[in-house]
Amino acid sequence: MLRARPAKVSIGKRTVSTWAYDGRLPGPRIEATAGGLVRARLVNELPADTTVHWHGIRLDHRMDGAPGYTQQAVRPGGMFDYVFTAPDPGTYFYHSHVGMQNDRGLYGPLIVADPHEPLGYDEEFTVVLDDWLDGVIGTPDEALRRLNASTAHDDTLRSTALGGVVGELRHPYHLVNGRAADAPEVFASKPGRLVRFRVINAAADTAFRVALGGHRMAVTHTDGFPCAPVAVDTFLIGMGERYDFLVRLGEGAFPLVAEAEGKGARAFAIVRTSHRAAAPSSDVRLRELTQRMLRYADLKARRQDLLPRPSRSVTVTLGMRPSGNEWTLNDRLAADPMRLRVERGETIRIVLDNQSPMWHPMHLHGHTFQVRTSAGPQGPRKDTVNILPRERLNIDVRADNPGEWMFHCHNLYHQEQGMMGTLGYGPETHRMKH
Ligand SMILES: [Cu+2]
């Protein structure tokens, strides 16, 4: 059961009023086995409508939690039973898909175990990253209203790796598993253990640059899907993306840092394998953060995850209107959304063409696509992909899960400012009345 309700939660030294599942931040870890059923009863104790979206899962569209598309939002006092099969193992998460609720505390990890797990490791940790403002500088809805009242963007939030301005606002806190750097999460282990970290970016407006002090990492999965392991020092994770990596831990107390890219702040946790070692400081400089960074071109899908060649291609142009507060897909806003029509069984190429001045983590519901990088046809299977300003990127989608699916920017502010379209099967049917 997931009770969505107002709650006071501790984010380290500070307690804030927010909305959360079962009063916990993140929400409870939900575990499933690939091919098995997930059952969760949402009970809405909020003063607003809500839904749960199961991010990255190729599920029955009626369980997708997309309000107005696949279900009516659940009214205050109501409930909804989510029951679906999780077909693919991997690292996923769930979150509200109503308005700005995902920038409150309404998210949690969803881990789908592989009954034939090919990776050998000694233990695993889940790392949920978030940017936090709720109850500190007002609510996310108030932050959105402030943004909409101005045409300017904050030019001080910049990163070369993201091609310019990185986001809409500066969140006062950045969290690992609901905890700020002033009272960090500690992952306790033993020297020599091989550990799998599952990293989930549940933030609204922040990409993170992740590194573990004193260690190189082998990235093994993105967005749930395995890829040939890649040794790197750091990786950039956009909102909605997930990465899994393996490390053989040394002896000591090591900083696990997630820099809020371009924002001069960080989320911080400690990996401890020794009682005696002094805790690292949360502002420690990590050389790993500036060394070898993962690129999409490094990631190679397994042979069995390669999609067939697409039979046609469509272009989706990402744009920004002069207001600076309206983000478009093929020049349309969410109120009159772009719709990509597909037929069951075909594979199409979507050419993402970013003509807007900011990067966007684009997320497709109900499917995983194959990213076709310059490195060749074996690009990773993903459900969320970052596209930089002035970049064009090809993603191939096999239409094998009928329904009406959201395709949108996972910057929650951009999503609410119009950057939301659909991918639908066959002729358009009328949208649900709200
Ligand atoms: Cu965006």
Residue with tokens 């920038």: 103
Please check whether residue 368 is in contact with residue 347, taking contact to mean a CB–CB distance below 8 angstroms: no
CA of 409 to the centre of ligand 1 (A): 5
434 has a pLDDT exceeding 50? no
155 has a pLDDT exceeding 90? no
d(CA 363, CA 387): 11
CA of 190 to the centre of ligand 1 (A): 40
CA of 420 to the centre of ligand 1 (A): 10
**Distance set, CA 226 to CA 61, 89, 137, 391 (Å):** 24, 9, 39, 26
CA of 275 to the centre of ligand 1 (A): 43
- Residue 234: DSSP 8-state: B
**Distance set, CA 156 to CA 141, 164, 262, 354, 356 (Å):** 23, 10, 8, 21, 18
CA of 362 to the centre of ligand 1 (A): 7
Q: Identify the pLDDT of residue 433.
A: 46
CA of 320 to the centre of ligand 1 (A): 9
CA of 359 to the centre of ligand 1 (A): 6
CA of 360 to the centre of ligand 1 (A): 4
Per-chain mean pLDDT for the chain: 96
Read off the pTM: 0.97
pLDDT band at residue 315 under the 50/70/90 scheme = very high
CA angle 425, 410, 217 (to 5 degrees): 110
CA of 412 to the centre of ligand 1 (A): 8
CA of 267 to the centre of ligand 1 (A): 22
CA of 416 to the centre of ligand 1 (A): 10
pLDDT band at residue 313 under the 50/70/90 scheme = very high
431 has a pLDDT exceeding 70? no
CB atoms within 10 A of CB 119: 15
Give per-residue pLDDT as tens, 348-366. Answer: 999 999 999 999 999 999 9
CA of 186 to the centre of ligand 1 (A): 32
pLDDT band at residue 199 under the 50/70/90 scheme = very high
Please check whether residue 156 is in contact with residue 163, taking contact to mean a CB–CB distance below 8 angstroms: no
Q: Helices (H) and strands (E) in the chain — how many of each?
A: 2, 32
Percent of the chain with pLDDT over 90: 95
CA of 279 to the centre of ligand 1 (A): 37
Lowest mean pLDDT among 78-87, 234-243, 374-383: 374-383
CA of 145 to the centre of ligand 1 (A): 17
Q: Identify the pLDDT of residue 151.
A: 84
CA of 358 to the centre of ligand 1 (A): 7
Give per-residue pLDDT as tens, 161-176. Answer: 999 999 999 999 999 9
376 has a pLDDT exceeding 90? no
Q: Identify the pLDDT of residue 144.
A: 96
CA of 361 to the centre of ligand 1 (A): 6
CA of 157 to the centre of ligand 1 (A): 15
CA of 415 to the centre of ligand 1 (A): 7
429 has a pLDDT exceeding 90? no
Please check whether residue 234 is in contact with residue 210, taking contact to mean a CB–CB distance below 8 angstroms: yes
pLDDT band at residue 432 under the 50/70/90 scheme = low
pLDDT band at residue 377 under the 50/70/90 scheme = confident
CA of 391 to the centre of ligand 1 (A): 14
